[in-house]
Amino acid sequence: MKRLFVILSFFSALACAQVDQPKLVVGIVVDQMRFDYINRYWDDYSEGGFKRLISEGYNCTNAHFNYIPTYTGPGHASIYSGATPSSHGIISNYWYDREVEEYSYCVSDAEMNTVGAENGSGKMSPSKMLNTTFGDELRLFSMNRSKVIAVALKDRSAVLPAGHMGNFAFWLESETGDFVSSSYYGPRLPKWVQKFNKKDVCEGYLSHKWELLLPSKRYDESLNDNSAYEEAFAGEKYPKFPHDLPSLIEHNGKGLIKGTPFGNSLTKDMAIAAIEGENLGEDSFTDLLAVSFSSTDYVGHQFGTDAKEIQDTYLRLDRDLESFLSYLDENIGKENVLIFLTSDHGAVRTPAYLKDRNIPAGYFEAEEPIRELKQFLQNIYGFGDWVKTYGDAQIFLNRELIFEKYLSLEEVQQQTADFMLRFDGVQKAVTGRTLENNEFEAGILACLQKGFNQKRSADVFLVLDPAWIEYSHTGTTHGSGYTYDRHVPLIWYGWNIKAGSTSEKVGITDIASTVSSLLGISFPNGSEANIISIPLSE
Ligand code: ZN
Ligand code: ZN
Ligand code: ZN
């Protein structure tokens, strides 16, 4: 009997590839998760969520984004491609397209049609991303036998992780509360998605009030509720608990769920439905499920980093992770699933709050400075519309006019940069030419350079002082090259990963090459090929 077992295991070993691969890779991206949310809320987490990932997994406590701007589109593209915007081309969520002279969205694609709704919400594809992802490399490696599925509330957080060869990406459509997709992946929604949509899961979550999960005294890591730094929901008098979701639907539509922790619960339900509907992790070809939890971002933008709402959202996400992990245990087995959990960027503590605590912070309002810049350029170069547009701290000059007048682009860029330095809150103003002609090793200039795509990016880049943002005085945002936006969690868990941690500095762009190396497949084509050394069991 023993010999038979040995022979059988010999043959089953032969059937596998040379590298012992997990059956399923699950990439979890928590939108706008600052690193400190793990430690701040530690005592209120369950045993089976974040605590379990950290105690049984490998925790990289010093993981950073290495480019500007730290937004969702570039974040997801960088995590899955192992490259930065200078190479993968997703330079922001929206950017000014010089050719068509208007803003273009990072995953919009006019050639595509919506699958699952009667509107434009599915006219999306990854066509603007110039690199492969590790999901693409996995599909190429396995001759398409590996499956790649992505699930998120936001379209960009599903489309970019699914890569160019993903089988399907699904995201939430705000009007109907259904998950939809693009004709890029197929002509209709798979049956299991149609079935999931019919269950009205979204409506179920919106049929009760959002109350605190734990007794309110447990929320002593947050400010008192109804502070001056929070924004109420439309239709609500004060930004405080309980939030009466059923009555708020009228003013906000079903998209309301995104701004509550239940958007994450819905995402988890859909992720489990995807595993079952697509039979992920069943055969010997490694599959990828990319899941993005984005309610954390909506809640952070609206209530800020110190509100009870954001703490409650993390405590509830922790419970969702707990149930997701036990689902994977029971149905696929921890030893067959490789999980990484990270974030697409962090966030700054609400500057108005920081100012009230004597920490330098502020709000940059660009309208007047840009008006003065236009006047200044006219004084030098004569009448003309010298500035095309300003957005995300980037100035696009009117290159046609500059070339038409035989002016030096470099000189106009430099005049613009020098002028913008006179305004409060502007710490640096850097020209595109500077980024083209130098090689920056570290610091903010290196981050700007890694975010700079010579063809798509602007002419002049503003770097604001720390904790200065362009935003409303309630809630918060992200996008800078400061550590509060760059430092995020990175935890590896399951499969052969041994428990442990490292405080060695690692880059977010190391995730894709590390996954590729663990799977024994090629690196994504633009990746920097740095591998994080994670201890594995024999
Ligand atoms: Zn984000
Ligand atoms: Zn509140
Ligand atoms: Zn955001």
pLDDT in tens, 370-420: 999 999 999 999 999 999 999 999 999 999 999 999 999 999 999 999 999
The ligand that comes nearest to the alpha carbon of residue 227 is 2
The ligand that comes nearest to the alpha carbon of residue 154 is 1
- At 179, which helix (H) or strand (E)? strand 178-182
Q: Which residues are catalytic?
A: 72
Q: Is 137 left (phi over 0), alpha (psi -120 to 50) or beta?
A: alpha
Per-residue pLDDT band for 55 (boundaries 50, 70, 90) equals: very high
The pTM for the full model equals 0.95
Rounded Cα distance, 387 and 399, in Å: 9
Phi, then psi, of 363 in degrees rounded to 5: -125, 120
Q: What is the 3-state secondary structure (H, E, C) of 234-245?
A: CCCCCCCCCECH
Nearest one of 29, 72, 25, 24 to 489, comparing CA atoms:
29
Q: Read off the DSSP letter of residue 124.
A: B
CB 196 within 8 A of CB 168: no
Per-residue pLDDT band for 19 (boundaries 50, 70, 90) equals: low
Which residues fall within 8 angstroms of residue 442, CB to CB, at 6 or more apart? none
Determine how many CB atoms are found less than 10 A away from the CB of residue 152: 29
How remote is the CA of residue 31 from the centroid of ligand 1, in Å? Answer: 4
Confidence (pLDDT) at 102: 95
How remote is the CA of residue 303 from the centroid of ligand 2, in Å? Answer: 7
How remote is the CA of residue 255 from the centroid of ligand 3, in Å? Answer: 16
How remote is the CA of residue 279 from the centroid of ligand 3, in Å? Answer: 32
How remote is the CA of residue 159 from the centroid of ligand 2, in Å? Answer: 32
The ligand that comes nearest to the alpha carbon of residue 313 is 2
How remote is the CA of residue 70 from the centroid of ligand 3, in Å? Answer: 9
Rounded Cα distance, 384 and 363, in Å: 30
Q: Does pLDDT of 428 surpass 80?
A: yes
Per-residue pLDDT band for 18 (boundaries 50, 70, 90) equals: low
How remote is the CA of residue 501 from the centroid of ligand 1, in Å? Answer: 25
Q: What is the mean pLDDT of residues 181-201?
A: 98
